Structure formats: C-alpha cells, structure tokens
C-alpha cells in the first residue's frame, strides 16, 4: 500500500463539473432530461474534514468483498472514530493495511473481505495504530 499523507493541510483545487438533474436508472432506461441542475465539486461530497483527510492507494485483493480493488484510491478521514464495522487504515509492524475493524466483546481483529485471507486477531502487546477510517473508494471502470 502506498501512502500519501500530507504533513500540512493543503487547500483542494476547486473543479466544479456539470451535474445532471435527472437520475440514471440502473434498471430500465428512462428518457434523459435536457438540462443540468448546476455544478458539483467532488471535494464537497467526498471530503468532510479537509485538515484530517488524506488519500492512499490500495494494493492487493484482500478487500475485494468491500469493493476495494488493487489500485483504488481510498479517501481516509483521521477525525472519525474507528468503531466496530468500519474499514480502517492500520499500521502493524511498520506496514500499512486496509481492513474492517471488528470489536466483539473482548476480542479485537482486523478482518479481510476475501475468504483467502484470515482475520488478524489482535492480542495484548500487539502494536497497532489506526491511521483513519476509509470514507470513500474511487476506482476506474476502464
């Protein structure tokens, strides 16, 4: 996993793009509307806490069941609480990993979303640092 973690907050470049007023049907097609609603800046929808947000690129296939594929760009928010069920970026033994956090009773583990990868059971004495919660996944369809 390649991490890009800014040391100082940077102002995101504004890039408003057209936003169609109509919705796209995933079932039967519907007639398209002939006008646009306005403009949309993805920063407004993807980044809720700019000073606490960074991007990281995923590698590997351990999280395909969560819709995270090799090469995807992950949006990570350090201000969110890493609670049970959230997908997190964690550092273990000097390595970054993306996994689903599981906190059940007195057991804490990092769960893969691929049956080929066993869960990582955290024991007392394991040094694990959660670097943030994954809020969005961006991947190319081409």
- Which of 19, 3, 25, 13 minimizes the C-alpha distance to 94? 3
Strands 107-111 and 120-122: antiparallel
39, 62, 105, 109: the active-site residue: 62
Residue in this structure with the two tokens 């700019």, named with its chain if needed = 50
Residue 99 a catalytic site member: yes
- Is the separation of the CB atoms in 113 and 66 below 8 Å? yes
Among candidate residues 48, 59, 99, 102, the one labeled active-site is 99
Q: In what order do the strands lie in the sheet with 128-138?
A: 2-4, 53-57, 73-77, 128-138, 87-92, 95-104, 107-111, 120-122
Q: Strand pairing partners for 132?
A: 89
Task: Please tell me the number of Cα atoms within 13 Å of 131 on its side-chain side.
Answer: 21
Q: Active-site residues: which are they?
A: 62, 99
């Amino acid at each position: 996993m390649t991490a890009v973690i800014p040391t100082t907050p940077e102002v995101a470049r504004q890039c408003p793009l057209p936003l169609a007023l109509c919705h796209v049907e995933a079932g039967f097609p519907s007639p398209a509307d002939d006008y646009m609603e306005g403009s949309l800046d993805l920063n407004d929808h993807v980044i809720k806490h700019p000073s606490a947000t960074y991007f990281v690129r995923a590698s590997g296939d351990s999280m395909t069941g969560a819709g995270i594929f090799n090469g995807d760009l992950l949006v990570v928010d350090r201000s969110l609480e890493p609670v049970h069920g959230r997908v997190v970026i964690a550092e273990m033994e000097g390595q970054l990993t993306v996994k689903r956090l599981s906190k059940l009773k007195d057991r804490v583990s990092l769960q893969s979303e691929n049956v080929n990868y066993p869960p990582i059971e955290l024991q007392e004495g394991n040094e694990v640092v959660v670097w943030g919660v994954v809020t969005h996944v961006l991947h190319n369809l081409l």
